[in-house]
Amino acid sequence: MQTSNQSTRLSQLWDSVCQGSENCYATFHYHLYPGLISYARGLVSYEEVAEDLVQDLFVKMWVKKEQIGRIENVKGYMYRAIRSICFNHLKSAKKKQTPIDPLDEDFQISYEDMLAQDETQTFRKQQIERALNGLPARQREILYLRFFEKLEYEQIVEVTGVKYQSVVNHVYRATQCLRNQLRNSSTLVTVA
């Protein structure tokens, strides 16, 4: 299973990082950084802030590697950590009179993060983006973690703190809603 192999590889990398291997740390960073940036960008909506927060996470991981020790689910741990860091940032921004609420903040998924850049599919990409962004923020976040980051349901539970059955329900409802929206928009295009 691909996900299990990736999980095992990340755990092995992290074990080597804990022993001080800078090369393994660079590989660890290489494998996790793009997905964490994309996820953080969806939470805080500002690319520069997302980059800073993810970099801060990696610095903290390196500095505290001995204290952290062995991690069974490295990818879930990292996504849970960046989620917490992003929400703390949003709460801090709110205290500074910045009108941002982490629970109301929309989790945005741009179609560039979902599909390859194929100019012939631009219209379809826009339909998918509209359909995804029409979903409630929690459903968008869970779909992103499930299908774009390929996290297992148990990992999504760890990252979001949502109960297992609720995660399953969110995925089911969101995919049903997307199917209906995309089916209806395709019907409207062929009728028009």
Integer Rg of the chain from CA:
18
Report pLDDT for 107: 59
Report pLDDT for 191: 42
Roughly what angle, to the nearest 10 degrees, separates helices 153-160 and 164-191? 110
Report pLDDT for 90: 87
Report pLDDT for 117: 41
Cβ-proximal residues to 25 (8 Å cutoff; 6+ apart), any chain: 17, 62
Compute the average pLDDT of residues 66-87: 90
Report pLDDT for 120: 38
Asked whether the predicted pLDDT for residue 181 surpasses 50, the reply is yes
Which residue type sits at 118?
D
Q: What is the pTM of this model?
A: 0.61
- 111-191 maps to CATH 1.10.10.10: yes
CATH level 2 (architecture), domain 2-95:
Orthogonal Bundle (1.10)
Structural domain spans, the chain: 2-95, 111-191
Rounded to whole angstroms, how far apart are CA atoms 82 and 72?
Answer: 17
Reported as half-sphere exposure (CB side, CA atoms, 13 A), residue 23 has a value of 0
Cβ-proximal residues to 56 (8 Å cutoff; 6+ apart), any chain: 85
pLDDT tens digits for range 88-131: 888 887 777 544 445 445 555 554 444 444 443 566 666 777 77
The four Cα atoms 91, 93, 98, 100 give a dihedral, to 10 degrees, of -40
Q: How many C-beta atoms lie closer than 10 Å to residue 179's C-beta?
A: 11
Report pLDDT for 147: 81
Compute the average pLDDT of residues 74-82: 92
- The fraction of the chain above a pLDDT of 90, given in percent, is 19
